[in-house]
Amino acid sequence: MAPAEAIPPANTTTTTPFTGAAASGAFTTTPTAIDPYTYQVGFGNHFASEALTGALPIGYNTPQRYAYNLISEQLNVFTPTNGNVEFTLQDLGLKTITGHGNSMAKEGLAVYIYLANKLIEKRAFCNNNGDILILPQEGRLDIQTEFGKLMVLPGELVVIQAGIKFSVRMPDGAGRGYIQEVFRAHYELPKLGPVGSNGMAQPRDFKTPVASFKVDQSEWTVVVKLVGKLFTYNQGHTPFNVVAWHGNYTPYNDPSIYCQVACNTFRPPYYHRNVCTEIMGMVCGKWALSGSLEPGGLTYEPSYMPHGEGQELWKQATSVELVPQRVGEGSMAFMMHISAHVSLTKYALKRCANLQKMQVVGRIEPPLYSWEKISCAVGRHDYYNVKPQNGE
């Protein structure tokens, strides 16, 4: 950061020292053609936002009388679903792939794929089981929350914490992607280690919405998910009527910036075993290594299961001339490292049409599975609101 005296005055030749304060408020992002919203930046910050000037009281939370005759409300946080349930939100097809634990004990998580193609008007959803992380693979998500609006693009992620109401629009007509739901803790940033302050993604890359509200006295339906069950109630106004708020329990999205630089090294993923379970998916592009993983697909490797590239690629990688190259350009994949063992659902193992079982030669091991491209049928009468049975 340059000191103030090192900043030359713009469009002037005067030698008078440049001093003063020009900041009018906290930094916010600039809207773009594909994302029309403004955000505050940071991760885990204590933010404050008001859609009407003076709506947020200074110095206390509950004055006797609020400006604009507003009513105060507080959201206290303890966190934590049953990974075998499905819900419908704007005709959202949700299929459970894997998970462990349960929401009653506030332990574990679940991984889903989703497909959305139609908005159900005047309906909001609230997940009281835990926080959800959504990774769009196709189609933007225009999300309205109680704290404001977020536009989430394929290749980005969004986290919506437990107890927060939201609704989703599909500005591109339809979309699909991945969801991870955690029942206990909240998401945290990993340490950057030796990369330190030069990491590609920093806390300031995370975006939190600014206050946005509607005056809408029509009837709304709110769907609440609790301990693996769905409950609904109706109310005579929109749930998105928060005029001002402050705190650090807010939804956010992230551009998922990642880059790796290496020299004089074996470049494909070496053969390895992990203490964690691996769930990997493709957002876009082509998988550069062996296998047939496509955008929309997933792979699964159990804890301690040996996996990696085959012998042919190993021979090639150990003999090729090491020259500068860009690997995976135009592609994006993600990896979920899950500390516990997980179970695959019957849908993932039996009803998905694109399941591939990988062969392991010369040893008896738990199976590896790859879903080349997980697809969901659209428009079938029995597709939505299916009640799973026996762990499906």
- Mean pLDDT (10-residue bins), the chain, 392 residues: 47 54 73 95 90 88 86 64 32 80 90 87 94 95 96 95 94 93 87 67 88 94 90 95 92 76 67 86 79 82 81 81 78 89 86 63 48 37 28 39
Domains of the chain: 92-189+199-254 (2.60.120.10), 277-371 (no CATH)
Does 337 belong to an annotated binding site? no
Nearest Cα to Cα of residue 181 among 121, 120, 133, 115: 133
Determine the pLDDT at residue 363. 42
pLDDT of 32 reads 95
The number of helix segments (H) and strand segments (E) in the chain equals: 2, 22
pLDDT at 328: 74
Cα distances (Å, whole numbers) of residue 143 to 20, 86, 130, 363: 39, 20, 18, 48
> Which residues fall within 8 angstroms of residue 386, CB to CB, at 6 or more apart?
86
Q: Is 73 annotated as a binding residue?
A: no
pLDDT at position 291, please?
60
